[in-house]
Chain A
Amino acid sequence: AQSVTQLGSHVSVSEGALVLLRCNYSSSVPPYLFWYVQYPNQGLQLLLKYTSAATLVKGINGFEAEFKKSETSFHLTKPSAHMSDAAEYFCAVSKRGSNYKLTFGKGTLLTVNP
């Protein structure tokens, strides 16, 4: 079975500060890992994904994440937060070849203060 743990249900940062959202996964097989963003009353939009190529993955809106197998982590970072980054962020894992069965973390709500 696979699982995802997102540390911190709510993270608050100041505009211009570093954003760090933590994700740890559990998987018995090499995983695919994803970060999605959800703005209020909208669907989910893919930020970035790891599918066994480069371990440092760059996504949209200046976000990036690094796959660390030894730490079973896939933390999401952005050097400088913008007000428009305020949203809920979900980390998800799937088995390779089974991208129709995502297992999600419980989400982290990011607040950006002016």
Chain B
Amino acid sequence: NAGVTQTPKFQVLKTGQSMTLQCAQDMNHEYMSWYRQDPGMGLRLIHYSVGAGITDQGEVPNGYNVSRSTTEDFPLRLLSAAPSQTSVYFCASSMTHSGQETQYFGPGTRLLVL
């Protein structure tokens, strides 16, 4: 298994540009989540999904959209990038079953918005 994969690894955007951060997992996990990591802030939840076709907002959802058309993929869209969205973005996945509570994290995408 490749686990959780994210592309790209690094991206530079100009203010106002749009882009999609890709996330995929091959573990057949029902749950998927997006977090952003900023210095001194830890990780904060942006959006999450409990299954295909079901998404919901986390702590910091403004400026981001998500969709989940398949179990494997959970892309994060920035419609109009702002410098405040400069961050490291992590995707994570996990299972529903008791005893399988661990969230597995991808390697991250570093985003710089100029």
Contact = CB atoms under 8 A, between A and B. Distances in A.
A42 interface: yes
Interface size class of B (residues with CB under 8 A): 20 to 34
A49 B45 contact: no
Contact of B103 (A42, A102, A107): A102
Contacts of B40: 9, 106-107
Interface of B: 4, 31-33, 35, 40-45, 48-50, 58-59, 90, 92, 94, 98-99, 101-108
Interface residues of A, number: 24
A77 interface: no
Interface of A: 4, 9, 32, 34, 36, 42-46, 49, 51, 90, 92, 94, 99-107
Chain B interface, >50% SS class: strand
Nearest to B4: A43
Contacts of A105: 42
A9 B59 CA distance: 22
A100 B31 contact: yes
Contact of B105 (A43, A49, A51): A43
Contacts of B31: 99-100
Contacts of B104: 46
B105 A32 contact: no
A107 B39 CA distance: 9
A90 B42 contact: yes
Given A43-B106, A43-B108, A100-B32, A51 B42 contact: no
Contacts of B45: 101-103
A20 to B, nearest CB: 19
Contacts of A51: 98-99, 101
